[in-house]
Structure 1
Amino acid sequence: MLMDIQDIATFTDYFILCSGSSERMIESLADAVLENAKKEFQMIGKKEGYAQGGWVLVDLGDVIVHLFSPEQRDYYRLEELWSQGKILLRLQ
């Protein structure tokens, strides 16, 4: 899910929320985000959290990517917490 939160947050403009089916998948997705951001946009991101904990965050400044296990995504419910944001894209 791509969410525009620039009207309700001062620390970033967009959230990308997605789920991975395993720790390995979450870690691989985070690494791919960092690699592609650097290669395609010359952006240096910062990875926080651990796949073993079910939530990895990649901070790219204007965009923050949240990579969750399904259980942690259900627990934290960021979609509801930031429900005033505009959903720009939702994929299944």
Structure 2
Amino acid sequence: MTKDTLLQVAYKAAEDKKAEDIVVLNMEGISLLADYFLICSANSDRQVQSIARELMDKAGEAGYEVKSVEGFDAARWVLVDLGDVVAHIFHRDERSYYNLERLWRDAPQLEV
């Protein structure tokens, strides 16, 4: 299984739980953390957790290991590390504050 397949699994999982404003940044050659960042928003703490849970479940079903999860209990910004793909799931109020798209503006956005 490839990192592109993992990205597809993660994107679909976020989409299935009605994540908003899904953005994928190609981090290859820019960051050593991951090849892709998937960034999305949710309207409530519950939805943030629901998206994170779906990402973890679908990745596991597809045979990928979830490396770590940060921020799940607070549900304001959950980071799901899937290795080649790192998903950032923000409560809508937090996303504009942290503005990862601006922070990593050198990374090209991908259409998935």
* TM-score (structure 1 length as normaliser): 0.90
Q: 1:43 aligns with which of 64, 84, 90?
A: 64
Letter of the aligned partner of 2:89 in structure 1?
Answer: L
Quick one: which amino acid aligns to residue 13 of structure 1?
D
1:27 alignment partner in structure 2:
49
CA contact (8 A) 2:48 2:75 kept: no
Deviations 1:5-52 (A, max 9, x none): 111101210000000101110001000000000112x11212111353
TM-score of the superposed pair, with normalisation by structure 2? 0.75
Do 1:16 and 1:66's aligned partners in 2 also have CA atoms closer than 8 Å? yes
Mapping 1:1-92, distance limit 5 Å: 1-40=23-62, 42-45=63-66, 46-50=68-72, 52-89=74-111
State the identity %: 36
For the 8 Å contact 1:20–1:70, the answer to whether it is kept is: yes
Where do 4+ consecutive residues of structure 1 move more than 6 Å? none
More relative contact order, 1 or 2 (CA 8 Å, 6+ apart): 1
The Cα of 1:67 is off from its aligned counterpart by 0.2
- Size of the aligned set, in residue pairs, is 89
Is the 1:12–1:64 contact (alpha carbons within 8 Å) kept by the matching residues of 2?
yes
Residues 78, 69 of structure 1: alpha-carbon distance in 2 compared, 3 angstrom cutoff: same
Gaps of 5+ in 1: none
CA contact (8 A) 1:3 1:89 kept: no
